[in-house]
Structure 1
């Protein structure tokens, strides 16, 4: 009978070792996998999948270690630096790119390609944007979660304004139309309310949390942060200037977007719409207003479909790297992804084709499954993080901060921003 440990990693390295059995993970048949979920149903599923894997690999002992998300990267980095790594674990795309560039992730590509039944071509085209470098594969996405708009239907109806989902169905849901509707809607809102709240209300904060708003805004205007082919910053393009300028006007001229320093919470009913993901919809349980969903607004650059990703990786220092790669292959096979789709939006076409099997999207209204969830994943893009993203974030952050003041020279700041990050993009290779 194998032993499995599921634990919350404690604050100190000594507590981690004691609580999670780090010191005794060198056994040839023992695997440790770190995750950031504390959801009991999700952990129960991972436990069951670990049991199934063990049944196929005699003597395997898989230990699922749950780390609070806020501490996840810090604690993982301590373990990697201390030579006490887990065998495999979850990573967000930007962290995975940085760790792959520094040699901390194993290339699982050869093992996955050797299994003809694994079927790489079953994944949607953009699935491996941040998980491959040439032929090397440094992780496999287990969750590909679309960004979309949720809105307060009562507020739009009360002001006799068009419903965003109906506008989207007619191809009229754009940032320009949103800005116009916001000017009409704002005077009808209760005191202290705003029309537009950015994703997580954090567009003025660190790039890691503001980018889910900025990336689709730029894409809708035919712009982006940089050109991956030329390794050049493109934030000084006319499209980027229009995109950032539009948001700047909403915050500081129209007064319709939540400005820096102000507080608004869509889920509490004092913002009319926001950008979100499936995992946030649980916050609407018990909402006192009727809400709806719409795609991300489009623009001159077309209709953006943007996703965020988390992937499963094997660490280069893993004591049981071969067995860890087998477990990764098991969890991200069609069978594994179909099971995980109870909670995590899948990137395999075969699983997406089975609408009834994707419980991860069950909080969406039924009509939004085919109009938002599936096309967002199959046609969507994820921001391609450059290899030097940690250094670029540090350099770019003060300049992004300059944008969010009433008198900001938006074109001038964007030009200086590109001047600052271009050398880092070129050095990234």
Structure 2
């Protein structure tokens, strides 16, 4: 009898110990702690961009390194057309459905700060491996607000000029690069070259210039005005100052090239530079993706022309942010940190002018296959990064931009003179600045 009692007692003891262990495991999970052997929860993050399929493919490739370090995280890339991007982010914010991480352009920053949808990432500076000091200091200013860092730049390009070397050679003209190296590349020379490069009729017509990548993108026009001593807005963004003699000079130049000399691609026509029928084309470095595919003619890049007050290319700036409201804020910041690391910026430099000094000066950035020469990149871009203008910051920029585009549309339609157009622009924009 004692023998059976002992066996029974032992079985009960084993049962109680097993139950106790199960309770401890359950309690550990309830307390939010996990055993070292437990796997991390699978997470999917959304990363929004306004780029193209090539940009998405580049990110898919570089993210393989992120997945190696974070096997539980997957990233969905959401491509949104640029004209719709800001509006869509605002709609998603209202519905608490923002992506975890995304691109933000300089023109969007003011509104997004006002809406309080950008996460503070100031603690990145505490990570020595991240090396915040590698960023060119001026590229961080846009992303600083009230002592916080709200994003990191991945693209800081000056507007540059792509030109068809074959057309210049056939016309017997010095190239923009040759003139710039002699400090003789001016807006007057630009106009003269555009006229000389234009010829033919109908479908065989060639044009000397195209200053618009999209017809609603007027980014090159302020460069002309500023280089003559004018401005678009006052520094405090309280006055519209484009209605000036310098502004009229800019609009008259465009009107003259389009409708008198017929040296500029006509309004609304999509005659692309890569087709070989446009001599000079102003665009950002991101257009290099298209230019690298050109095989029908030799091309090169140069800085924009200068005026009496020097050069003033648009310094486009885009950054990557972690949006507020993410269900996975820790993982979102890890993704942002990876994309803004040297590895991430190096991968993105295939398309964008990098903000990290180590990448900007690297052979990997400059010697991409089918890129222009190191000398051309230095002259057209790197040397211009301290002399450009940036888009104004205003929370109602979308409305202001819309009024500017309305005015330029009137010029395209030859509805009014440049003087009248700029006067009306000032009248329409003034209330928005208040």
TM-score range for the pair, normalised by the shorter chain length: 0.7 to 0.9
2:48 to 21, 30, 34: 34
Q: Quick one: structure 1 residues 81 and 423, their matched pair in 2 at CA, closer, same or farther if it must change by over 3 Å?
A: same
Match of 2:112 in 1: 99
* Corresponding position: 1:314 with 2:350: no
1:152 to 154, 161, 164: 164
Once the two structures are superposed, residues 73-98 of structure 1 have per-residue CA deviations (whole angstroms, 9 ceiling, x without a partner) of 56555543332332112223323432
Answer yes or no: is the 8 Å Cα contact 2:220–2:314 preserved in 1: no
Per the normalisation by structure 2, the TM-score is: 0.79
Between the aligned partners of 1:48 and 1:377, the Cα distance in structure 2 is 32
Q: Quick one: structure 1 residues 409 and 49, their matched pair in 2 at CA, closer, same or farther if it must change by over 3 Å?
A: same
Answer yes or no: is the 8 Å Cα contact 1:130–1:385 preserved in 2: no
Per the normalisation by structure 1, the TM-score is: 0.80
Question: Which has the larger displacement, 41-50 or 118-127?
Answer: 118-127
Question: Which has the larger displacement, 311-320 or 406-415?
Answer: 406-415
Match of 1:355 in 2: 363
Match of 2:246 in 1: 239
Q: How does 1:386-425 map to 2 (within 5 A)?
A: 386-406=394-414, 408-425=416-433
Q: How does 1:169-180 map to 2 (within 5 A)?
A: 169-180=181-192
Between the aligned partners of 2:296 and 2:369, the Cα distance in structure 1 is 22
Between the aligned partners of 2:294 and 2:284, the Cα distance in structure 1 is 18
Q: Quick one: structure 1 residues 233 and 407, their matched pair in 2 at CA, closer, same or farther if it must change by over 3 Å?
A: same
Between the aligned partners of 1:282 and 1:389, the Cα distance in structure 2 is 29
Between the aligned partners of 1:379 and 1:390, the Cα distance in structure 2 is 25
3-state SS of paired residue (1:218): helix
Structure possessing the higher radius of gyration over alpha carbons: 2
C-alpha root-mean-square deviation of aligned residues, in Å? Answer: 3.0
Between the aligned partners of 1:87 and 1:270, the Cα distance in structure 2 is 43
Match of 1:295 in 2: 303
Q: Aligned-pair distance for 1:114?
A: 4.1
Q: Aligned-pair distance for 1:167?
A: 0.7
1:81 to 94, 97, 104: 94
Structure 1 residue ranges without an equivalent (≥5): 1-26
Structure 2 residue ranges without an equivalent (≥5): 1-40
Answer yes or no: is the 8 Å Cα contact 1:345–1:361 preserved in 2: no
3-state SS of paired residue (1:215): helix
Match of 1:23 in 2: none
Between the aligned partners of 1:126 and 1:217, the Cα distance in structure 2 is 23
Aligned residues: 389
Match of 2:4 in 1: none
